[in-house]
Structure 1
Amino acid sequence: MEAEAGAEAALNCRKAALREQVWDKLENQDAVLFPRPCHGRIPNCIGSAMACLHLLEVPEMREASVVKVHPSIGAAALRTALVLAGKTVLVPPYPGADFLYLQLHRDQFPNRASLEWAGDKREYLKWAKPVKLLDIPPVDIVVVATCAVAPNGTRLGKGKGYGEVEWGILTALGAVDPEATPVFTICHDLQVVESAQLNEELMEKHDLPVDAFATPSGLVRCKRIASKPSGIRWDLVGPQLEEDIGALSPPDAVSS
């Protein structure tokens, strides 16, 4: 038991060190916007709008009807573009809400001015519709947040596990298919690391890999080394995570 705990601690240290390297690089090269410093956050990087455009050109995205997008500032341009394109966008609410997602659709916004800012949290919170667990529609694409990503599909978030827990809930509901639902991410070129740095040794069973990532330079299809997980790892859900993702708490909780 002590050996397992030691191995897990060593793994987490390696992940933390890699995140720090990426955050340092972004800051040192002035590649990030507000909020700064970007350490401990999903970076809001310069060029994120261009990365979003590359992702929008992917055939799967053009054909999608429902897209789940993480709530970070750097994905605001993507959320806006998807709403303008007439797609339904699911985005997590503020921590502590008793539902999993807010639903954004162009029909909910009162005018063109609102639509132009549809992906901005300050705007969509006025018009978005809360969606209860059992009302979540089938999700065609999931866009996750990233601190670091490699061409082998391995990615690191900021280490809290929100994206993995959400994915687990969606698999339990049947809203996504681990074998078929594409998982994408957007990031800066400086967040892309060698596959040797983010290798299979750093992957845990609950970690969610990506099928492709978009940077300001273009789109990269990943040669995934790991399959996507299924179900909720309740042993990884601590009190803080349960409080932040209110849908995990009774009476709205999903069974494993």
Structure 2
Amino acid sequence: GASKQDVREKVWDYLEASGLAAFPRPVHRRIPNFQGSHQACCSIKELDVFNRAREIKVDPDKPLEGVRLAALEARKTLLVPTPRLRTGLFNKIVPPPGATKEILRICATSQGIKEYSVPVGLDGKARVDLVVVGSVAVSEKGWRIGKGEGYADMEYAMMVSMGAVQEDTPVITIVHDCQVVDIAEELLDDHDLTVDYILTPTRTVKTNCKRPKPQGIIWHKVSYEMLEKIPILKSLRYREKQTGKDVTLQDEHSDLANANTPAALNEKAMAENTRPQAAMGSAQVGQHYVESDSLSPRLGGSGMITTVYVGNIPPSVRVSELKCALREFHATPLRLNWQGAQHRAFLDYKDKATAESAVSSLKGLSLGGNTLRVELAKNQRNKGQVEINMLYICQAWIKNLPLGSCVQPHVAR
């Protein structure tokens, strides 16, 4: 029988060949825009589920522009997924005060999504009343085929995991009539999102779909590669792991066989080194805390030590929680400088590449209800060292020791 990709190719080819395809062209490998998409979008205003909704999540695809505009005109909260989920889950579109219809029209476009949006973190307490997705093909039973990258399915599963959608949250798709086709049930997987309403330029179909929607992220279908591509997925996995859920990844079972490889052993050693060293290599003065692991003697090596700034740390979070998260995200630093009273920490890495990798890994990390701000520290050269030396001086002063005995030796940077 036909595969999902066969169905996609058939729809894309037909839209192009029949002159129904609209900008951006060609429609292949996209959620296709089509002649009459605005008309199809406008019919959403006739649905009670739209009129009752206060917060709506609409995909950023071109054929859904009319729905985004309708939501803004109706003064609803409009959430749009961040492109390829690179920097979080949602952006909230915030039109300027007193925005004219023309400005709202711009806000609904891809340009407006960039210019008039603010990110919503995992802790943003989003409560989505209605979900609008694009499709390549859909059946009257509510079975949907996307463009094949799985982002709509993943976004929905992530919304379930963060409590943003409930089982009865309606899902709508906007397509051309020719995209409504028969889809064999055996093509569907348990992670595939189904739809409750189909809007076309000529009709509205209520699918009465009984097939259950995804119940959250199916971790054993998530690969390490996907985890690297979608930073916020790491945060969700970390949160779910803390609650005791099984978050074993697709390729994690095979990795157990590689548990004794040099890389794995090195990673294990780094994780273990952060514990016993707390007694020997740390200084704690009030809420300040500096910890060096056993790798710190190498700080004077050839690499230029690079510091990462971690901000927006809630007062309730302890240094042990941050350390646990750093191990979980494979971002254990050579040195951790904790400044809880200032809601921040500084992490030293052996070189810029390692630091940038840590920043990428920790993007979207949420602790204690806050999405942390993670970036390369502005002044790399001596900022971290000055602060560390000051801490040792403070400690010496408190203990009334000779300063010379406590100032940490200068580290060449």
Distance 1:253 1:119 in 2: 33
Equivalent of residue 129 in structure 2, options 140, 147, 150: 140
Equivalent of residue 36 in structure 2, options 11, 29, 47: 47
Tell me the equivalent position of 1:247: 232
Tell me the equivalent position of 2:202: 217
Q: RMSD of the TM alignment (CA)?
A: 2.0
Q: CA deviation at 1:110?
A: 5.9
**C-alpha spacing 1:45/1:248, structure 2 compared with 1 (3 Å):** same
Distance 2:158 2:76 in 1: 22
Matches within 5 A, 1:91-170: 91-95=80-84, 97-106=86-95, 108=96, 111-112=99-100, 113-170=102-159
Which of 1 and 2 has higher RCO (CA within 8 Å, sep 6+)?
1
**C-alpha spacing 1:99/1:219, structure 2 compared with 1 (3 Å):** same
Tell me the equivalent position of 1:5: none
Distance 1:190 1:72 in 2: 18
Q: Deviations over 1:184-203 (max 9, x none)?
A: 10011110103xxx132111
Partner amino acid, structure 2, of 1:245: I
Tell me the equivalent position of 1:171: 160
Q: CA deviation at 1:236?
A: 2.8
Tell me the equivalent position of 1:236: 221
Q: CA deviation at 1:249?
A: 2.8
Distance 1:120 1:52 in 2: 14
Q: CA deviation at 1:240?
A: 5.1
Q: Deviations over 1:222-244 (max 9, x none)?
A: 03141111110123333554344
Number of residue pairs aligned between Structure 1 and Structure 2: 240
Q: Deviations over 1:19-56 (max 9, x none)?
A: 11111111111111122111111001111101111122
**C-alpha spacing 1:192/1:134, structure 2 compared with 1 (3 Å):** same
**C-alpha spacing 1:251/1:151, structure 2 compared with 1 (3 Å):** closer
Tell me the equivalent position of 2:176: 188
Residue 208 in structure 1 maps to residue 208 in structure 2 = no
Check whether the contact 2:135–2:174 (CA below 8 A) recurs between aligned residues: yes
Distance 1:109 1:230 in 2: 38
SS of match in other structure, 2:15: helix
SS of match in other structure, 1:95: helix
Distance 1:74 1:133 in 2: 27
Matches within 5 A, 1:4-19: 14-19=3-8
Q: Equivalent pairs: percent with the same residue?
A: 36
Partner amino acid, structure 2, of 1:202: L
TM superposition score normalised by structure 1: 0.87
Partner amino acid, structure 2, of 1:119: A
Partner amino acid, structure 2, of 1:134: D
